[in-house]
């Protein structure tokens, strides 16, 4: 579960709506996760990719997050489901952590619905954000 409204780029919003629509035809778990993500997408503030703040988690952003319960931190990249590889730190936007961090900014606290791999976390740093590098195609 994310706290407060999120901010999405127009391109991420469009791609995620397509993804959510496709997920409705898959497994029950995909449908449940898609519904949660769809609610966040519909309620999001939308900005042009060129206007995305550099501390915002967008698709394919690599970020550092600290688990506020354990004190441990981790580095993850938010990716589309077919790119997911937890052993490489690539977290799907359909995963609880992915849904929770999407559209949030450095310094904000997030709480995934299911604590995997973080129960309650603080976004500490953006290590790579496509929009900040002028990569609007990612």
pLDDT tens-digit map of 1-29: 344 579 999 999 999 999 988 887 777 77
> pLDDT at position 51, please?
95
> pLDDT at position 116, please?
67
Domain boundaries, the chain: 7-133
pLDDT tens-digit map of 84-98: 999 999 999 988 899
Share the mean pLDDT of the chain.
Answer: 89
Compute the Cα dihedral for 75, 107, 46, 29 and give only its sign. positive
How large is the C-alpha radius of gyration of the chain? 14
Q: Does domain 7-133 have CATH number 3.40.50.920?
A: no
Other CB atoms within 10 Å distance of the CB of residue 76? 23
Two tokens, residue 6: 């999120």
Say which residues have a Cβ less than 8 Å from residue 86's Cβ, sequence separation at least 6: 117
């Amino acid at each position: 579960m994310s706290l407060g409204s999120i901010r999405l780029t127009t391109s991420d919003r469009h791609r995620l709506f397509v993804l959510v629509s496709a997920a409705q035809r898959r497994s029950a778990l995909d449908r449940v996760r898609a519904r949660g993500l769809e609610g966040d997408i519909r309620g999001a503030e939308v900005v042009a990719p060129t206007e995305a703040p550099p501390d915002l988690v967008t698709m394919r952003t690599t970020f550092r997050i600290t688990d506020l319960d354990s004190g441990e931190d981790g580095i993850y990249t938010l990716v589309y489901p077919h790119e997911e590889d937890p052993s490489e730190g690539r977290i799907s936007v359909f995963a609880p952590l992915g849904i929770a961090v999407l559209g949030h900014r450095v310094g904000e606290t997030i709480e995934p619905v299911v604590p995997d791999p973080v129960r309650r976390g603080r976004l500490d740093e953006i290590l790579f954000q496509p929009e900040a590098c002028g990569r609007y195609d990612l």
